Amino acid sequence: MPGTRADHADLDVVAVGHAVVDVLAPSDEAALDRLGLVKGTMALVDEARGEALYAAMGPAVEVSGGSAANTAVGVARLGGSAAFVGKVRDDQLGTVFAHDIRAAGVAYATPPATAGPATGRCLVLVTADAERTMGTYLGAAAGLAPADIDAALVARAAVTYLEGYMWDPPDGIAALQAAIAAARGAGRQVALSLSDPFCVARHRDEFLALLEGEVDLLFANEDEIVGLLGAGSFDAAVSAWKRRRPLAALTRGAAGSVVVTGDDVVAVPAVPVDEVVDTTGAGDLYAAGFLYGHTRGLDPAGCAHLGARAAAEVIAHLGARPRPRPQHRTA
Amino acid sequence: MPGTRADHADLDVVAVGHAVVDVLAPSDEAALDRLGLVKGTMALVDEARGEALYAAMGPAVEVSGGSAANTAVGVARLGGSAAFVGKVRDDQLGTVFAHDIRAAGVAYATPPATAGPATGRCLVLVTADAERTMGTYLGAAAGLAPADIDAALVARAAVTYLEGYMWDPPDGIAALQAAIAAARGAGRQVALSLSDPFCVARHRDEFLALLEGEVDLLFANEDEIVGLLGAGSFDAAVSAWKRRRPLAALTRGAAGSVVVTGDDVVAVPAVPVDEVVDTTGAGDLYAAGFLYGHTRGLDPAGCAHLGARAAAEVIAHLGARPRPRPQHRTA
């Protein structure tokens, strides 16, 4: 079976995505309306709009983020081995991003850009219902080029994990194609996360084409899979997915997740959380737990349960990455 | 009475201090030993040592900080009016600092440096007992000059609040003298925080001279007041302080605080906290609550109780500034 440890992949996951720093601040529904943001979604913004949004935000906290980067950190946190490929600029926020992902135990060697836009950032407005609404200025992250894809690194990883957001900038697609070619050439697996319902709407045809043969695992939430398949409901989307080739791990928030493989449909409950503080990173960490199990040969239900556990940890605090261990102790 | 609203001060507090961004990460005792840091204290580090410490730290979170700046934010959060004077560079972390303090409702107009060292940062290692150990690279903050002191702004504030750390860089003292002169010239009050026992050891004579006539309110913790007076115990320090001119608000962690005015000694208990997560900012926020009460004419016990409440809020979460309001709601 390709992509398992048996065939000498010495890395579990290489994740390819946007290297961005999250800027998180509490917000409220009225502010989202005023700023023209749609709750629960990610909007791409240019530098000027990013600055206007930032000026309208309250006091914030900066934490390294990026969807696929969060997944890589999650895999490392669980004890797996992970690498990340994504572009920052050689500026202060780029230094912060590189420090944090390496300090989390993820191999990160993409050279920073020495000119051009600043390191990307994702302005995250967290409402009282723990939902997050994002405005992302990609900056240097949009400049990831095929030359940044280290084919030897990709060949070492059981799974190459791609975030859907990477289809947004023009250069991103070429870089992803290079990563997919390197993974498939080495007989490895490719996983795709659909990222966001609007992202699905922007790139539906590309994603569907990719799912016809280039992808082994699909991660999507309810809105994303329904949007991708133009289905009338989640159940209709699941029925439509059966017998399609890639395994699909479909998340439904508090309702848990559903894994579809061929004709098999397995539903796995969510792990309860005392207080949901911030759902940022829930999907990213679900993927981390799932991939950790998958690269160790667990069955779909086992993988989905590990995904649910990792997601439960990250939604119980502010920020999209798991907390480092000492943080969990009580004073 | 000088320094109350009665004589038309239209600002409660102007705080003068180091403009730094905190970089917080969980740590453990072994790491502190390995890095040569003394738990619970602040060490000044140069750029190279700062980079070495940062490289040894785990994944971190960036939050605007600075002792006096935290106090200004605390005053604004309680509903008071506050301004801050301190120096950043025109770089990404300087932009973060300026955004956060303004977004917290504090007036901040010190022009950023356009050359020289980068914006200062304070590396904060938080151990499992919620104690914080700091390595501060002052960077641009050390460049605050007398020209940065807006005498008209100082004259508008009932209290000018100075952090002891400002005595560390050579230029800082001249800037503080300008601030003290402006405050006293306008008939306003001056408050001094001793900041740190090692800071007291470095500047004991200067602090004692200042307390002979230039300062109306002193903030210190147990170690700092004992060190300042060379006393054998906290009780001996309190006895030695009686009949000295300035009011002294002395904090003792979980044991509450003691306010000494002339012959009066008032002990006020701490406000209980379910779980102490991070004591960073406890002293800064105690001062904020105290000053908020003081500028509204509360008696020492009332001021100390407001201080205890503000400190209790900040030690229940990671970071040295109060959380913005929407954050407190439950999902």
User: Model confidence over B215-251: pLDDT tens digits?
Assistant: 999 999 999 999 999 999 999 999 999 877 799 999 9
Beta-carbon separation of A61 and B331 below 8 A: no
In a domain, B207, yes or no: yes
Instruction: Answer whether A243 touches B (CB < 8 Å).
Output: no
Which range has the worst mean pLDDT, A41-45, B152-156, B325-329? B325-329
Interchain contact, B58 vs A101, CB within 8 Å: no
Tell me the pLDDT band of B131, cut-offs 50, 70 and 90.
confident
Q: What is the pLDDT of residues A284-311, one digit of tens each?
A: 999 999 999 999 999 999 999 999 999 9
Q: Considering only the beta carbons, identify the residue of A54, A129, A323 that sits closest to B99.
A: A54
Out of A55, A91, A277, closest to residue B92 by CB: A91
pLDDT of the residue at A317: 83
What is the C-alpha to C-alpha distance for residues B73 and A138, in angstroms, rounded to an integer?
31
State the DSSP H helix or E strand holding residue A34, giving kind and residue range, or none if neither.
Answer: helix A29-35
Predicted confidence (pLDDT) at residue B312 exceeds the cutoff of 70: yes
Q: Does B171 touch chain A (CB under 8 A)?
A: no
pLDDT tens, residue by residue, B247-285: 999 999 999 999 999 899 999 999 999 888 878 889 999
CA distances from B192 to A305, B76, B215, B241, B251 (A): 55, 19, 7, 15, 14
Using the Cβ of B210 and the Cβ atoms of chain A, whether some distance falls under 8 Å is answered with no
- According to DSSP, the residues that pair with A300 across neighbouring strands are none
Q: From CA B228, how far away is CA B210, in angstroms rounded?
A: 12
| Whole-number average pLDDT of chain B | 91
DSSP B5: G
pLDDT at A259: 97
Please list every residue in chain A whose beta carbon sits closer than 8 Å to the beta carbon of residue B62.
61-63, 96
Q: Is A331 inside any structural domain?
A: no
CA A143, CA B24: separation in Å to the nearest integer? 30
For residue B328, name the pLDDT band (cuts at 50, 70, 90): very low
Mutate to test the interface with A, among B77, B92, B321 (most CBs of A within 10 A): B92
Range with lowest mean pLDDT among A24-38, A186-200, B280-294, B317-331? B317-331
Q: Distance (Å, rounded) from C-alpha A137 to C-alpha A50? A: 6
Q: Do A275 and B331 touch (CB under 8 A)?
A: yes
Q: Which token pair is A295? A: 């690269």
Residues of A in contact with B57 (CB under 8 A): 99, 103
Question: Quick check: is A234 in a domain?
Answer: yes
Per the DSSP assignment, residues forming a β-bridge with A219 are A193, A249
Domain harbouring B285, CATH code: 3.40.1190.20
Chain B closest CA to A129's CA: distance in Å?
A: 4
> Do the domain assignments include residue A137?
yes
Question: pLDDT per residue over B177-190, tens digit each?
Answer: 999 999 999 999 99
Angle between helices B282-294 and B300-315 (to 10 degrees): 150
Average pLDDT over residues A38-47: 90
Residue B7 has pLDDT above 70, yes or no: no
Residue A248 lies in a domain: yes
Q: Of A134-148, A313-327, B167-181, which gets the smallest average pLDDT?
A: A313-327
- Location of structure tokens 């539906």: A204
The model's confidence at residue B325, banded by pLDDT at 50, 70 and 90, is low
Tell me what pLDDT residue B135 has. 95
- Residue at B190: amino acid letter: V
Residue in B60, B318, B327 nearest the CB of A100: B60
- Residue contact A128–B28, C-beta within 8 A: no
3-state helix, strand, coil in chain A (%, to 5): 45, 20, 35
Question: Which residues from B are below 8 Å from A275, CB to CB?
Answer: 330-331
Task: Identify whether the C-beta of residue A160 lies closer than 8 Å to the C-beta of residue A14.
Answer: yes
The domain total for chain A is 1
H/E stretch holding B303 reads helix B300-315
Distance CA B239, CA B191 (A): 21
Residue B34: pLDDT band with limits 50, 70, 90: very high
Would you list the DSSP string of B62-130?
A: EEE--HHHHHHHHHHHTT--EEEE---BSSHHHHHHHHHHHHTT-EE-PPPBSSSSPPEEEEEEEPTTS
User: What pLDDT was estimated at residue B9?
Assistant: 86
Any B CB within 8 A of A170 CB: no
A38 contacts: CB under 8 Å, gap ≥ 6? A32, A133
| Structure tokens given for B125 | 């290692």
Q: Are A99 and B55 in contact (CB under 8 A)?
A: yes
CB of A319 closer than 8 Å to CB of A278: yes
Percentage, residues of chain B above pLDDT 70: 95
What is the structure's pLDDT at B329? Answer: 31
Q: Is A104 on the interface with B (CB under 8 A)?
A: yes
Whether residue A209 is contained in a domain is answered as yes
pLDDT for res B125: 94
Please name the member of B59, B92, B329 whose beta carbon is closest to the beta carbon of A104. B59
Rounded distance between C-alpha atoms, residue A58 and residue B133, angstroms: 27
Choose among B26, B103, B318: nearest Cβ to A57.
Answer: B103
Interface check A100 vs B, CB under 8 A: yes
Amino acid letter for position B143: G
Residue A141: band (very low, low, confident or very high) from pLDDT cuts 50, 70, 90: very high
Mean pLDDT in residue range B296-325: 89
Averaged confidence pLDDT in chain A:
91
> Does the reported pTM lie above 0.80?
yes
B interface test, pick of A39, A54, A61 with most B CB neighbours within 10 Å: A61
DSSP code per residue over A146-193? GGG--HHHHHHEEEEEEEGGGGSSHHHHHHHHHHHHHHHHTT-EEEEE
Q: What is the pLDDT of residues A65-124, one digit of tens each?
A: 999 999 999 999 999 999 999 999 999 999 999 999 999 999 999 999 999 999 999 999
pLDDT at residue A330 tops 90: no
| Residues β-bridged to residue A257 | A251, A268
Q: CA–CA distance from A112 to each of A89, A90, A146 (Å)?
A: 5, 5, 14
What mean pLDDT do residues A32-60 have?
Answer: 93
Please choose, from the candidates A182, A168, A153, the residue with its C-alpha nearest in 3D space to the C-alpha of residue A67. A168
pLDDT at B327 over 50: no
Residue A129 covered by a domain? yes
- Residue corresponding to tokens 């439904």: A252
Whether B38 is in a domain gets the answer no
Average pLDDT of span B138-149: 96
Cα–Cα distance between A3 and B154 in angstroms, integer? 66
Could you read off the pLDDT of A157-215 as tens digits, one per residue? 999 999 999 998 887 889 999 999 999 999 999 999 998 888 899 999 999 999 988 99
Predicted local distance difference test score (pLDDT) of residue A197: 87
Which among A257, A198, A253 has a CA at the least distance from the CA of A228? A198
A125: helix, coil or strand? strand
- Confidence grade of residue A216 (pLDDT, cut at 50, 70, 90): very high
Q: Using CA atoms, how far apart are residues A261 and B146, in angstroms rounded to an integer?
A: 70
For residue B252, what are the domain limits? 5-17+66-115+140-322
Q: How far is CA B83 from CA B11, B95, B108, B157, B253, in A?
A: 8, 17, 6, 8, 27
Query: Is A64 in the B-facing interface, judged by CB distances under 8 Å?
Result: yes
Res. A256: pLDDT tops 80: yes
pLDDT of residue B277: 82
Question: Looking at CA atoms only, how far is residue A323 from chain B in angstroms?
Answer: 9
Please indicate if any CB of chain B lies within 8 Å of the CB of A330. Answer: yes
Longest dimension (CA), chain B: 54
β pairing state of A11-16 and A82-85: parallel
Q: State residue A325's pLDDT score.
A: 54
Residue B4 predicted with pLDDT over 50: no
